[in-house]
Amino acid sequence: MRGRFLSVILSAVSLPLVAAAVSSQAYTWKNVKIGGGGGFVPNIVFNPTQKGLAYARTDIGGAYRLNADDTWTPLLDFADVNHWNYWGVDALATDPVNTTRVYLATGMYTNSWDPNNGQILISTNYGATWTASPLPFKVGGNMPGRGVGERLAIDPNSNNILFFGARSGNGLWKSTDFGATWSKVSSFTNTGTYVPDPTDTSGYNSDKLGITWVTFDSTSGTSGKATPRIFVGVGNLGSTNVMVSNDAGSTWNAVAGQNSTYIPHKGVLSPATKTLYISYSNGAGPYDGSLGAVMKYNITSGVWTDITPVSGGNLYFGFGGLAIDAQHPNTIMVAALNSWWPDGQIFRSIDGGVTWSPLWSWGVYPAINKFYSYVDTLAPWLGPDNTVTTLGTLQIGWMMEGLSIDPFDSNHWLYGTGATILGGRDLLKWDTTHNVTLESLADGIEETAVTALVSPPVGPPLLSGVGDIEGFVHNSLTVAPATNFLNPSWSTTSDIDYAGNKPTNFVRIGSGTGSQQIALSFDSGTTWSIDYGAPITLSGGKVALSANADTVLWRTGSSGVQVSQYTNAFTVVSSLPSDAQIASDKVNNSVFYGASGSKFYVSVDGGHTFTSPSGLGSSKSPQKIVVNPSVTGDVWVSTDVGIFHSVNSGTTFTQLPGITQAWAIALGAPAKAGGYPAIFAAAVLGTTTGYFRSDDAGVNWVQINDAAHGFAAPGSNPVSGDPRIYGRVYIGTNGRGIFYGDAAGAAPPPSTTAKPTTTSAIPSTTLLSTTSSSAIVKTTTTTSRGTPTTTSPAPTGTGVQGAYGQCGGQGWTGPTVCVSGYKCTYSNPYYSQCIPA
């Protein structure tokens, strides 16, 4: 059980260590507000019988419950290193009989990327606490086809009965004890053969989509008895893919007269009209879909009707999200999957699909009539005018597999996109004025995958690198930023660093292609300029900026380590391995560090050459190098075997006792002015895997995360200590955005912008039962001294510069005078150019 925090008595000598209790410190954890979600929301599920009860599921960031004020409360923040795959939610079911109950099918990948089987998570209190029922196969919350469903369903007449449609050909499963135990429905043999790409050797696109949805026909039964009629959608393209049972799941048949051309994504039943509506697409989704259909099936007559809203050249997408207005059962809506241009599309019908109206239509080309106004105050970076260049022209969205109308409020609708939840509260205006208000309604959902965090000593409290949506300058922790990184923008930021002596200077790198993927800022991230010294072939990896901000060391994604000074062309650093972790000294502009395998490396010539003066014990994979911002050569390295510390630029290292594995490590403000920086680490300390802080240079540690805050897999979580506020730490997650934590007792200064915080009825969520891991205690090692090398200074130059040549910039030693007719013009601190006078 979490809560009994075990650790070791830390010793300065190399002796076997004795396990003893270590203290923990209460921390307050909150999200750094990005707002608007920031990732794919596969579905939003309303409870059909309790007003206002709804949940959203995500593919990598767990599930959320909707609050009355339109905010969302996260439900799976307890997931820790041992339960990281809980954040992949492949299906969700809210109980129509006993509405306190909610179930999640969780697991991240069905291929080797996730070694763990999946589980059904069961809550009897709206998601406040959970118990896990393990499944004997994997569940793929972040696999292709994660937007179909729901493939987990509760019998509306006998809520002890659940069915779950598995992936990978594992078939249909049934529970009769509220999800506690599961058994395979052996009579269900049409388990789905469709795979998106059979040639994908990773297993990601070559696994079977499996069963796509399970839908009970409540009208076929009576309360208290198992519902006889159950429809099941199957991941087949071109062969029978809608099955039905009329005996509560004992025997199954193909629904007669079906058209199996496309894959059924959603099967939504209108009890009032005894009609089953199905949306189809020709791929598994969520990114694909170039053809599809919408069908309705009259359960009474057995008649199928094709009600696809568009045809011919206007049909260049499949269909995903499908909603019925429970109060107006002939009102249905369906979302295109995917209309990538000029925008996503949603259709609405008030006559059961006979006629449809769209959310936009073409005007006089290229103008479009938007039958909506757009409100993004909760996440302005989403951009009414497409300020997020990576989102292109799409405002309505894409990957729209989840579309729902509140069963108690015909005006209230929500849909998920690849980046957020949109919706509104005036939907009936679609039918009167044909003009609705489309709002960003993902407040409280923080779903970003965070790649980098820097809390600098001056300026904004935090800069972040984020997957898919660039990253942000966080001027406030509580108000969503107005924009993400722009000019340039590259979708995913791989890393960020700042210059120790000039801490308004930053470098960031992107992971795109076809353009320079490195940018510099001299104003704390407000504006950026492309570093044209970078070839367009380099991207990704890690980056370090020298103390005076003139040199960039770049461990690229695929072309080894490279270095550039004064934005000159990058040159290969052959003396540092291509997988090295890198860091800059924060005081001495010439010094960089590297670590690879068991070796530590130092450069004293601005990153051009590295030597390896020392080793990192038995490390096989260093994780992070962090350098004391005010003491040159004071270096910490986290590794797969623990934490190493050097006070002499890596000439010798001491391994901390008791810590047997570490991921992120960071330094923050000291406990007392002038004291040693607080150290934060994600580590295995004794037998506890968690997040720890030391105020005495690594001798004593307190655990700072708790049973309600696990942060999932630590290996991908960046951490940054706040250099201005003692105790404050930022933890980036892979799917739950950025958290900041403040120590209980420490009084953080008031945030600059006042905005009321919303609280939910249930403050935190926990797992009722879990397992603990064991760890091996390692001892201290000291490494031997080595001799660093030095190189000669940069060349000098004189004379007059020609047209368009460089004529200035930090470190520039060439001509500063331009030929006649040209004037030396400042471009950035590193570059002035001769341009026509």
Ligand X SMILES: *[C@@H]1O[C@H](CO)[C@@H](O)[C@H](O)[C@H]1NC(C)=O
Residue 31 CA to residue 568 CA, distance in Å, equals: 39
Residue 360 CA to residue 393 CA, distance in Å, equals: 14
Q: Assess 201 for contact with ligand X (CB under 6 A).
A: no
Structure token digits, residue 295: 């069908």
Q: Which stretch binds ligand X (CB under 6 A): 140-148, 296-304, 548-556, 697-705?
A: 296-304
Residues 6+ apart with CB under 8 A from 491: 390, 468, 469, 470, 510, 511, 512
Q: Assess 223 for contact with ligand X (CB under 6 A).
A: no
Q: Which stretch binds ligand X (CB under 6 A): 85-93, 94-102, 449-457, 481-489?
A: 94-102
Q: Assess 591 for contact with ligand X (CB under 6 A).
A: yes
Out of 14, 124, 357, 491, name the contact with ligand X by CB under 6 A. 124
Nearer to ligand X, 296 or 709 (CB): 296
Q: Assess 588 for contact with ligand X (CB under 6 A).
A: yes
Structure token digits, residue 192: 């789905």
Q: Assess 373 for contact with ligand X (CB under 6 A).
A: yes
Residue 353 CA to residue 348 CA, distance in Å, equals: 8
**Minimum CB–partner distance for residue 217 and ligand X (Å):** 14
Q: Which stretch binds ligand X (CB under 6 A): 36-44, 369-377, 486-494, 715-723?
A: 369-377
Out of 11, 14, 49, 100, name the contact with ligand X by CB under 6 A. 100
Nearer to ligand X, 295 or 538 (CB): 295
Q: Which stretch binds ligand X (CB under 6 A): 179-187, 193-201, 370-378, 711-719?
A: 370-378
CB atoms inside a 10 Å sphere around CB 149: 29
**Minimum CB–partner distance for residue 360 and ligand X (Å):** 8
Binders in 406-435 for ligand X, by CB under 6 A: 435
Residues 6+ apart with CB under 8 A from 432: none
Q: Check: CB of residue 357 under 8 Å from CB of residue 346.
A: no
**Minimum CB–partner distance for residue 49 and ligand X (Å):** 12
Residue 480 CA to residue 380 CA, distance in Å, equals: 7
Nearer to ligand X, 424 or 488 (CB): 424
Q: Which stretch binds ligand X (CB under 6 A): 38-46, 529-537, 588-596, 792-800?
A: 588-596
Q: Assess 98 for contact with ligand X (CB under 6 A).
A: yes
User: Which residue, among 545, 555, 546, has the nearest Cα to 578 in the 3D structure?
Assistant: 555
**Minimum CB–partner distance for residue 437 and ligand X (Å):** 8
Out of 186, 199, 201, 301, name the contact with ligand X by CB under 6 A. 301
How many residues are there in the chain? 837
**Minimum CB–partner distance for residue 261 and ligand X (Å):** 4
Q: Pattern of binders to ligand X over 601-620, x per CB under 6 A?
A: ---x----------------
Nearer to ligand X, 301 or 757 (CB): 301
User: Which residue, among 54, 139, 124, 138, has the nearest Cα to 91 in the 3D structure?
Assistant: 139
Q: Assess 273 for contact with ligand X (CB under 6 A).
A: yes
Out of 14, 131, 205, 298, name the contact with ligand X by CB under 6 A. 298
Nearer to ligand X, 565 or 639 (CB): 565
Q: Check: CB of residue 760 under 8 Å from CB of residue 66.
A: no
Residue 581 CA to residue 558 CA, distance in Å, equals: 14
Nearer to ligand X, 129 or 779 (CB): 129
**Minimum CB–partner distance for residue 298 and ligand X (Å):** 4
Q: Check: CB of residue 44 under 8 Å from CB of residue 416.
A: yes
Give yes or no: 59 in active site.
Answer: yes
Out of 30, 370, 429, 724, name the contact with ligand X by CB under 6 A. 370
What is the helix (H) or strand (E) element at residue 432, kind and residue range? helix 429-432
Out of 28, 202, 300, 393, name the contact with ligand X by CB under 6 A. 300
Block residue for tokens 């340039």:
488
| Active-site entry in 200, 468, 579, 640 | 468
- 380: which DSSP letter? G
Give yes or no: 695 in active site.
Answer: no
SS3 653: coil
Q: How would DSSP label each residue in 17-66?
A: --EEE--B--EEEEE----SB-S---EEEE-SSSTT-EEEE-SSS-EEEE
Q: Check: CB of residue 761 under 8 Å from CB of residue 585.
A: no
Question: How far, rounded to the nearest angstrom, does the alpha carbon of residue 584 sit from its chain's CA centroid?
Answer: 28
Residue 125 CA to residue 765 CA, distance in Å, equals: 10
Nearer to ligand X, 502 or 693 (CB): 502
Q: Assess 275 for contact with ligand X (CB under 6 A).
A: yes
Block residue for tokens 């800069």:
463
Structure token digits, residue 189: 């043999």
* Site size with ligand X, rule: CB under 6 A: 21
Q: Check: CB of residue 33 under 8 Å from CB of residue 114.
A: no
**Minimum CB–partner distance for residue 615 and ligand X (Å):** 20
Q: Check: CB of residue 438 under 8 Å from CB of residue 372.
A: yes
**Minimum CB–partner distance for residue 707 and ligand X (Å):** 22
**Minimum CB–partner distance for residue 455 and ligand X (Å):** 25
Nearer to ligand X, 290 or 716 (CB): 290
**Where are the strands (E) in 695-744, listed by range?**
702-703, 719-721, 729-732, 738-743
Q: Which amino acids are annotated catalytic?
A: 59, 468
Residues of the shown chain interacting with ligand X in the complex, contacts defined by CB under 6 A: 98, 100-101, 124, 259, 261, 273, 275, 293, 298, 300-301, 369-371, 373, 435, 588, 590-591, 604
